[in-house]
Structure 1
Amino acid sequence: MVVLGKIVAACGLQGEVRVHPFADDPLAWSRLTHWWVGREGDAPGLWRQMKLLRCQLHNDLLLARLACVADRTAAEAIRGALVGVPRAALPPTATDEYYWADLLGLEVRNTREQSLGRILGLIETPANAVLRVGDGESGERLLPFVAAVVLDVDLAERRVRVEWETDW
């Protein structure tokens, strides 16, 4: 399951929900016919498929209406739940575009072929995304996900090559 965002609040009386998006093109989600809703730590089989009736961007949040969320009480009951879709339901990415979920766990090596660890997560900042890289021993490194640092992403080899030294 690829997590797209989190339901943060109910909106109105008709069951609309406010969703904080984790992706950079949340309005593209309105083209999906269904969303899956689950809780952090749930196995993919526990996520519930819900038909998407309406989705619009309002400020930095999405306002969404789901078929099985009939009123405000039902919307409040799913507050805090995550919104996702199976990886196969997502459209293919363009060249040099990646879904964050595809980057998690990739090994990060510098130009000297030294391992810096694996990608633990990503952080969205106003300037650019940041890779959280950890090796379990020396803690966590934060590397900007920009072309000057990230030289190559090889999903097939599950490796990222970066311009970054081990002592930075």
Structure 2
Amino acid sequence: MDNSESWLEIGRIVAAQGLKGELKVMSSSDFPERFEKPGTRWLQSPDRLSIQEVELVRGRYVPGKNLYVIKLAEIADRTQAETLRDYTLLVPSSDRPQLNEGEYHVSDLINLTVYHQQTGEEIGVVTDMLSAGNDLLEVQLNTLNSSENTSSKKVLIPFVYEIVPVVDLVNKRIEINPPVGLLELS
């Protein structure tokens, strides 16, 4: 595969683990098999200029830390492992798992426009998804409909059906029913 391939980030290497070349990976995926099932993965350098193919030999979850410890065939010792700190672990976009109705890939939500379902008012744009017990949409507020300077104001919106009843990927929009005061919080 070449660098023109579309990639999904599944984690970032944060440290070496032990003396035998294992790596600690901070997961950005909800799919454990990406770290536990042996097979081909790709590493992207911190400067994002190069992508190299690697072979995942094994992996295990570290409970309570959102970390996996993985072993790559090409990495034999701690010294080699330490050189991979801040590298990103990737899979091709074509390897995206099928989701059930009402489930979404985070990358599909980024840059969707958010509207107030009752008024139709454009509220802003999704810039990130954060996990804090439950998922939160980070939304950059729209400056067009506000007298305040909100050019850098972001709000976190709980990604639950009661507040976010409509996610329309085809039309690139999300509709929300925010509780009173939610959009005024910063």
1 CA distance for matches of 2:142 and 2:116?
17
| 1:64 matched to 2:70 | yes
Match of 1:28 in 2: 33
| 1:83 matched to 2:92 | no
State the 1:66 CA deviation.
Answer: 1.1
Instruction: For residues 41-69 of structure 1, give each alpha carbon's deviation from its aligned partner in whole angstroms, at most 9, with x where no partner exists.
Output: 626xx222211111111223201011222
Unaligned runs of 5+ in 2: 1-6, 144-149
1 CA distance for matches of 2:175 and 2:47?
30
State the 1:167 CA deviation.
Answer: 5.0
Please say which of residues 80-89 and 10-19 is displaced more in the overlay: 80-89
Matched pairs, number: 164
What's the TM-score once normalised by structure 2's chain length? 0.80
If asked which structure has higher relative contact order (CA below 8 Å, sep 6+), I would say 1
Q: Which runs of 4+ in 1 moved over 3 A?
A: 165-168
Cα RMSD for the two superposed structures: 2.0
Aligned pair partner of 1:134 in 133, 140, 145: 140
Instruction: For residues 82-109 of structure 1, give each alpha carbon's deviation from its aligned partner in whole angstroms, at most 9, with x where no partner exists.
Output: 2222211122111111111111111111
Q: For the structure 1 residues 37 and 80, does the alpha-carbon distance in structure 2 shift closer, same or farther, using more than 3 Å as the test?
A: same
1 CA distance for matches of 2:107 and 2:37?
20
Instruction: For residues 135-161 of structure 1, give each alpha carbon's deviation from its aligned partner in whole angstroms, at most 9, with x where no partner exists.
Output: 463221211111111111111111111
CA contact (8 A) 2:123 2:142 kept: no
Q: For the structure 1 residues 120 and 39, does the alpha-carbon distance in structure 2 shift closer, same or farther, using more than 3 Å as the test?
A: farther
Choose 1 or 2 for highest CA Rg.
Answer: 2
Unaligned runs of 5+ in 1: none
